Structure 1
Amino acid sequence: MRSVRDFTSGVGFFFQGFGWVAKNTRWWLFGLIPALIAFSVYVAALIYLGTNATELAEFLTPFADSWSWRETFRTLVGIVLFVAGLALAVITFAAITLVIGEPFYEKLSAAVDPLVEEHEQPWWRTLPRSIRDSLVTLMYVLMFTIPLFFLGFVPVVGQTVAPVLGAAVSGFFLTVELTTLALERRGFARKDRFRLLRANKASSLGFGVAVFLLFLVPFVAVIAMPAAVAGAALLVRTRLSPPPTPAPIP
């Protein structure tokens, strides 16, 4: 029962983030800027992928040249490529937007979660570390989501278990990404952040799954991004503090 309550409270922090940006519309508009930039890049990339999926499928399947049903097969491959690209866009949207909007979201997170003492560094110094940490997180995401993608083709299991596991995995790593700013301001290095979120797994999953499901709706992801950053800051401040003594960030 406690896990259920913690999961529900994690979902609640996301909606608290919406409440915060609704009361502070200036910060919401401020946080929309990098989200709109990232969204535009993703839309352009997906349009390009969609219009060239058949040619890409043909390039990847030269072995099918002699098949009588090669056009049908390559159409299916093209659809799979586009769906995979769309799934990757959903998974990576938050990470890419946070990298693009590092100085924006640092200020937003600090406004939601003011600290008396914090480990503050200029954004141009934190940006390389943020990119590195996002790549490490993406590697972990792909380790889980690629097998789950193929599991989706298994009858029954692919339509029941795989989507639930996929939402849980994607949700947890979204929480990892979104809480990075608030936890870094408390001096947490990447390993410490992972350890803390695993120790509060139910709350982390509740928050991240709520974000993930909403991010599946294309333009809603843009609107919800500032709320997700604000909600993550509230999650850290309310549920994850006072933190254990973290290792210093190198």
Structure 2
Amino acid sequence: MLKELAAGARMLLRGFGFWRRDAGVMLLGLVPAAIVFAALVWGLVALGIGLPGLVDWATPFADGWQEFWRSAFRALVTVVVFAGAAVLAFVTFTALTLIVGDPFYERIWKAVEADLGGEVPAEGPSFWSGVGNSLVLVVQGVLSAAVVAVAGFVPVVGGVLAAVLGAVLTGRLLARELAARAFDARHLDPRVRRALIRAHRWRFLGFGVATQLCFLVPLGAIATMPAAVAGATMLARSVLDEVHPVAADRA
């Protein structure tokens, strides 16, 4: 498990290393990431400013409590709601950036595929296929945010549990979405794709969590997105190359 987690994280490092191979195509990937990042940060800041008042308004039943318990409860609700919104923002960032920057990330995917060699699909997935995948990711992100929010209310360990659960759920979603282009381009049967991801779940999780941690660094989401697309292509290829004969026969 630990070996596979580390292997997944190294895929992201290899994605950053692709800047040395084709800096021009990677530079283009910063543009859509910057646009979407600015919009989501503005939304989170606005939520952070207005959330305390919103929580006070939504919890009138706590008005009669002792001040310590009232403040502690409302602070917990505020943290949990904001954490859920942050999880949703992480997933939404990836989905929206992939939609907005589809032509740019198509070029990164093709460049990485060509650099890796072997059988390279003539065309990637269609734009509308990418939109559909991104919308599915958003829905899954909403469900993950709800799960994280509920976990945050667990007594004593709620904060830690929500943080860990958020990292795992978000990392898993990020890895699957970012690697989808390489799978879609090969027209793999959904059952084959799920089997591949399930068989290498720890590698995908290592990549996804590493990507998410980079997103947490100030402006890290912008700098990481091109590398994440490149690294996810390498991740998908590493899985496909291991079981290529089987995957090709079943597709």
Which TM bucket (shorter chain)? 0.7 to 0.9
Q: Does 1:136 align with 2:136?
A: yes
| Counterpart residue type for residue 176 of structure 1 | R
Q: What is residue 43 of structure 2 aligned with on the other side? A: 45
Q: Does 1:152 align with 2:152?
A: yes
Q: For residues 1-250 of structure 1, what are the structure 2 equivalents within 5 Å? A: 3-57=1-55, 60-61=58-59, 72=71, 77-114=77-114, 116-118=119-121, 120=123, 126-188=126-188, 192-241=192-241, 242=244, 244-245=247-248
Q: Percent identity?
A: 37
Counterparts of 2:173 and 2:122 in 1: how far apart (Å)?
Answer: 23
Counterparts of 1:56 and 1:163 in 2: how far apart (Å)?
Answer: 23
- Aligned-residue RMSD, C-alpha: 3.0
Cα pair distance change 1:113/1:50, threshold 3 Å? same
| Counterpart residue type for residue 33 of structure 1 | V
Counterparts of 1:117 and 1:215 in 2: how far apart (Å)?
Answer: 30
Cα pair distance change 1:95/1:204, threshold 3 Å? same
Give the superposition deviation at 1:158: 2.7
Stretches of structure 2 that go unaligned for 5 or more consecutive residues are none
| Counterpart residue type for residue 164 of structure 1 | V
| Counterpart residue type for residue 234 of structure 2 | L
8 Å contact kept, 1:133–1:190: no
Give the superposition deviation at 1:237: 1.8
Q: Tell me the SS of whatever aligns to 2:188.
A: coil
Give the superposition deviation at 1:200: 1.1
8 Å contact kept, 1:118–1:186: yes
| Counterpart residue type for residue 158 of structure 1 | G
| Counterpart residue type for residue 245 of structure 1 | A
Deviations 1:36-89 (A, max 9, x none): 011111122122223332453355446667879699566665554433322321
Which shows bigger deviation, 105-114 or 76-85? 76-85
8 Å contact kept, 1:182–1:236: yes
Give the superposition deviation at 1:25: 1.8
Stretches of structure 1 that go unaligned for 5 or more consecutive residues are none
Q: Tell me the SS of whatever aligns to 1:179.
A: helix
Q: Tell me the SS of whatever aligns to 2:134.
A: helix
8 Å contact kept, 2:112–2:230: yes
Cα pair distance change 1:169/1:199, threshold 3 Å? same
Counterparts of 1:185 and 1:220 in 2: how far apart (Å)?
Answer: 28
| Counterpart residue type for residue 149 of structure 1 | A
Counterparts of 2:196 and 2:178 in 1: how far apart (Å)?
Answer: 14
Counterparts of 1:36 and 1:5 in 2: how far apart (Å)?
Answer: 33
8 Å contact kept, 1:176–1:193: no
Q: Give aligned pairs, total.
A: 243
Counterparts of 1:92 and 1:78 in 2: how far apart (Å)?
Answer: 21
Counterparts of 2:170 and 2:249 in 1: how far apart (Å)?
Answer: 25
Q: Normalising by the residue count of structure 1, what TM-score does the alignment of the two structures yield?
A: 0.81
